Amino acid sequence: MKSLKTLVSLTALTVCMGAASMATAATISPAGTGFTTPGGTIAVSSPASFGAAVSCSIVFTGSVAGDGSSASITGASVSGSNPLCGVPVLLGLPWTLTPTSTSTGAGVYAGTVSGVNFKIVSNCSSSPTTINVLYNNNTHAITVPSAQTVGSCKITALNAAPSPSLTVNP
């Protein structure tokens, strides 16, 4: 009987902790909104560039989920003066941007983008990858906190500000 009470107590505790963590999940607003990132920039190193970072312009398109729990990146166009800027092909879209309530500074929140994969001449990775990102509520920009590895390629810099402006609500 004592072990049954313990089991019931542990189950109740687990359910409550799960509900509490769901209640504090970060959201993106405005929910249900489509967005684009005009003026975005990205730098990627790859075997095609012999490991040197190549900077290009990037415009992502996507939409925020109806409940604000995530955003889907449904497309992107890459351009620039370097001939390699015309080569990338994004794979496995949509990618999912998920915010967290983890603050890394005033108005800056950590998050992830899952499903990331692309090719520059050849596939960077044999399978989709999850990368870490930051979202700054003050500048409304998505950036990477450090170089993010996607197989044989690395995203060394990213700065993409959604329009309309989005906000992470911790």
- What pLDDT shows up at residue 24? 61
**pTM (2 d.p.):** 0.84
Instruction: Answer whether 78's CB lies under 8 Å from 85's CB.
Output: yes
Euclidean distance between CA atoms 159 and 118, whole angstroms: 18
- What pLDDT shows up at residue 105? 86
Mean pLDDT per 10-residue run, the chain (170 residues)? Answer: 40 38 76 98 97 98 98 97 96 97 92 97 95 97 98 98 97
- What pLDDT shows up at residue 21? 40
147 in helix, strand or coil? coil
Instruction: State the amino acid at position 151 in one-letter form.
Output: G
Where do the domains of the chain lie? 26-169
